[in-house]
Amino acid sequence: MPKVPAHDLDYTKKDDEEKRRKVRALGYRVFAIHHSNIEQGIARLREAL
């Protein structure tokens, strides 16, 4: 059985989203890049810069 990446586990996803929410509330932009589609995530980040 393949190992599930830590940030794909339900409780970690929930914790990550809460952390991102708090950082956004402080006025920061947050770019989460998922390991399954790194190229698209980097392209989104590049467009935002």
Whether residue 1 has pLDDT greater than 90: no
Q: Are 40 and 31 in contact (CB under 8 A)?
A: no
pTM of structure: 0.76
CA 39 to chain centre: 14
Buried b (16+ CB within 10 A) or exposed e, 1-21: eeeeeeeeeeeeeeeeeeeee
pLDDT value of position 4: 87
Whether residue 2 has pLDDT greater than 90: no
pLDDT digits (tens, 9 = 90+) for 8-49: 999 999 999 999 999 999 999 999 999 999 999 999 999 999
Give CA–CA dist 5/27, Å, rounded: 29
3 pLDDT tier (thresholds 50, 70, 90): confident
Give CA–CA dist 32/41, Å, rounded: 7
